[in-house]
Structure 1
């Protein structure tokens, strides 16, 4: 009874080989699981980054849209003001624009260049 027989040796070898195969398979599955987790994490990060980029683009587009709306509103207000402004009277046949001349006289009076009497005289000359 000293040494195991041929069948005993074969059985022992089979047990050792089976155990090694099972342990090797378990290690391989764990490594594959970790690799899949890392890939999923990287995919999640890429998806999150893409979402953030889309959000930033949407915010920028909203800002551009707001600026365009403001510009259109300002343009509409300007057009309404131009349309509402009364048309300047046409210059008389003599070629003198009375409104422009009165405006010049008023600015000269406001600047202190013309006195009240001089302004009244020039105005009467223009209108009369």
Structure 2
């Protein structure tokens, strides 16, 4: 799979405006070039979902694949924040909260993301400059 072993992969809902905004934000703050990106709906996204046996009816927004491990929901978001430039790594400290509390907040936002932020008809197409970041 395209020499991705050295990168952490963020799988995201390619038709979700909130998710696309989050991906654009991560790209800007990923100064160490740690992440690669793929829509859940892409071939690579589907391959990784199958490999880790992830049920998209339970997890349908952001998933972080780090080597042979994956993280979903709030755990993914907080682990991503740890790698960003600026003060965002401080958010990683929220991992001390019980996951059921973190995920309840995450699930509430995820459940309402299309209503609040809208939905695209198709996945985002990266600009030529950003194409190398997408799988």
Tell me whether the two structures share a fold, i.e. TM-score over 0.5.
no
Larger radius of gyration: 1
**Structure number with higher relative contact order (C-alpha < 8 Å, ≥ 6 residues apart):** 2
- TM-score, length-scaled by structure 1: 0.22
Higher helix proportion: 1
- TM-score, length-scaled by structure 2: 0.22
